[in-house]
A and B are shown apart, each in its own frame.
Chain A
Amino acid sequence: NFVLTQPHSVSESPGKTVTISCTRSSGSIANNYVQWYQQRPGSAPTTVIYEDNQRPSGVPDRFSGSIDSSSNSASLTISGLKTEDEADYYCQSYDSSIWVFGGGTKLTVL
């Protein structure tokens, strides 16, 4: 089994760009799709990126996803930060049929 490691927290100012990383401990990041979920306080998660870099309809194009085989990591980039983007973000991939989650990153927009 592998582990997905995310920074515990990141902070940035409104209007800026932030990138949240998700590093896979073993096996290639490209082996299985990576998803990103946003969870605001008191709410259920929502999907902001699926299949590495696909954005569901309704998710602003300020959100983008990518993978980097050289660092064996996935990244979620949010540009033009808004205060409403303040939330916890989780990356997720698969180990065969098992779901593997990162520990989550708390994004503060201040």
Chain B
Amino acid sequence: QVQLVESGGGLVKPGGSLRLSCAASGFTFSDYYMSWIRQAPGKGLEWVSYISTSGSSIDYADSVKGRFTISRDNAKNSLYLQMNSLRAEDTAVYYCARRGGIQPWGQGTLVTVSS
């Protein structure tokens, strides 16, 4: 079945780095634009970044621009988010998402930025 599985979260100090991964299965990953979505504790859903099918088109929310880098490996059916210069306000559950059709939400991966 269609599935997205996020991993790589954890506890990191302010200013630190983390790399999130998302493994896709059950669909043709290379056919879909992909995004990262996050949800801070007790807050709503927030779009973070998107990447086109080939990786040639990318954009970021202003809140992460210059600090986060999205990438993908279509051969490995995987999406990534490199997060640098992390701040307390980046604390959230991070989900990967595909554009189009039914969004197969995974369980997300929790990123906690705290000293």
Q: Which residues of A contact B (CB under 8 A)?
A: 35, 37, 44-47, 50-51, 56, 90, 92, 94, 97-104
Contacts and interface: CB of A to CB of B under 8 A. Distances in A.
Given A37-B103, A50-B102, A51-B101, 17 more contacts: A35-B103, A37-B45, A44-B95, A45-B45, A46-B105, A47-B102, A47-B105, A50-B101, A56-B102, A94-B99, A97-B57, A97-B99, A99-B99, A100-B47, A101-B45, A101-B47, A104-B44
A51 B47 CA distance: 18
Interface-central residue, A45, A99, A103, by most chain B CB under 10 Å: A99
Interface of B: 33, 35, 37, 44-47, 50, 52, 57, 59, 93, 95, 97, 99, 101-108
Nearest to B33: A97
Contacts of B33: 97
A10 to B, nearest CB: 16
A46 B97 CA distance: 12
B39 to A, nearest CB: 8
A76 to B, nearest CB: 15
A56 B104 CA distance: 10
A58 B110 CA distance: 27
B105 A45 contact: yes
A94 B103 CA distance: 13
A56 B106 CA distance: 16
Contacts of A102: 44
Nearest to A59: B102
A101 B44 contact: yes
A104 B59 CA distance: 24
Contact of A37 (B46, B50, B105, B106): B105
Given A45-B45, A90-B44, A98 B105 contact: no
